Each structure stands twice: as C-alpha cells, then as structure tokens.
Amino acid sequence: MTSGEILSNINQKRITLMFKVITKLSKSSLIFSIVTYLSLFSPLIPWTVLAVLDPTIDVSITNFGLGESSDLTITFGEPQNTDFASTKIYKIPAGWDIAAGDKFPQDAVIGSGTFEGIVNGNKVNVAIKILNDTNLEGYKAHWKFSIAGGAVILDSYLDGDSTKGHTFSVTAPKEFVITAPTTASITFNGNVGGVKLVTNPSTIKEYSWQIEFRTEDGQSVTQSKDFMFSPIVR
C-alpha cells in the first residue's frame, strides 16, 4: 500500500469516528467539535486563499479620425487592501491596428508612462519609457519597458492583428515585493518617426478594451472598458 493510500485510509477512519461522536452531542457541542476537528486536521485538507482583486481601467485617445493615427493611453489602478496582480494582459479590440516592430529602428521610443505603488515597503513613482526591439522572436512586435531610467527592463511581446485584436502582457520582476495601492499609465505614440504606430478603426461603434489582472499563483480577474469610437465623440 502506498503512503497516499495509507493517509487516505487514516483520514477516512478519522472522519467516520468524528461523525459517530458528534451525532450524540448537543447543537453547541456539535459546532465546537466541528471547529476542533477542522483546526486539528486542516493540514490534511488543501485550502485555497482567494485573492482580492478589484482593479479599474481606462482608455483614451487624442484623435478620433477614422483610420488615422492617434496617441493611445491605457491606465489601471489597484486600490488599497487588494492584491497586486503581477501580470497584466492587455487586450486591444479588433479594429485598432498596431504596427509591427520591424517598421521601427532598434530602441526607437514608441511610448512612455508612469508607475506608482509600494515596492519593498516604500512608496515609489517612476517613469517608464517604451522601446522597440527589432528582435521580434516570432511575434508581431517586441517591446522593452524601461523603468526608472533603465534600472529595470521588462520584455513584452505583441501578438495579433487588426481583424482579431491584439494582446500584450507585462509581468513585474520577482525580485521586488510590490503591493497595492498601485496606479500606472502607458501612452503609445500615434506616430514614430513619421510611421504610424497606432491606427484608429475605420468603423464607428463601441469597442471593449480589457486588461486581465493575474496574480502570481494564477488567480485572475478581467476588467473591461467600453469605448465609443466616433468622430463626433470628444
């Protein structure tokens, strides 16, 4: 008999014995017995600690012209007393086009941003510079998020197209302990060196932008921002 089978038999005998005893107890004694049992044998029961995720997101552009280029800003916030999601997966809806990385030189600045949060117990507010990397590694684009003047570099890869939508993700470095509250804002330049990076849709309608917030242990929540794109909307 394996160790797992032995442990299973022991647990089954304990459970059977517990129910034989508690059927003879009063209601108050029953509650006490159940609590006592759980406290004694909880190491044998797998527990999942649920993360508290309640982030917010927003999206804005500077130009509403159909099929024209526009600066694109995406922001998120994770309020105090919630868990920090170490990975953010950005989901750009179909209709918008993001240019491939081979359209721009190595280390071309394609955007910028800021991050504010609690890092290793200290409140920080750092600048972000988004750089193009021509080593695409099989993706549509490869970006480098240069944080605090290059003190930290985070790789991000863009996949997708204008018909299916695009995705890219940013994962926080594991060597830092980051806790909420956090806020971040990233802006992609509409044009980089005279070449379109972000191109607006050619169809007037409401688009749903999303960010999936995923904790290090794999728990996640996806937040959406419905965005009405129309030349008459400002």
Amino acid, single-letter form, for residue 67: G
Question: Residue 171 above 50 pLDDT?
Answer: yes
Q: Say how far residue 21 (Cα) sits from the centre of its chain.
A: 48
Contact (Cβ atoms closer than 8 angstroms) between residue 111 and residue 131: no
Banded model confidence at residue 231, pLDDT cuts 50, 70, 90: confident
| 3-state secondary structure at position 149 | coil
Closest CA to 49 of 178, 185, 184, 217: 217
Beta partners for residue 223, in sequence order: 211
Mean pLDDT confidence for 59-83? 96
Question: Residue 14 above 70 pLDDT?
Answer: no
pTM beyond 0.85: no
Mean pLDDT confidence for 166-173? 97
Q: What pLDDT does residue 50 have?
A: 75
Question: Residue 37 above 70 pLDDT?
Answer: no
Rounded CA-CA distance 80/56 in Å is 12
C-alpha distances in Å from residue 201, one per residue of 105, 132, 136, 140 = 25, 23, 25, 19
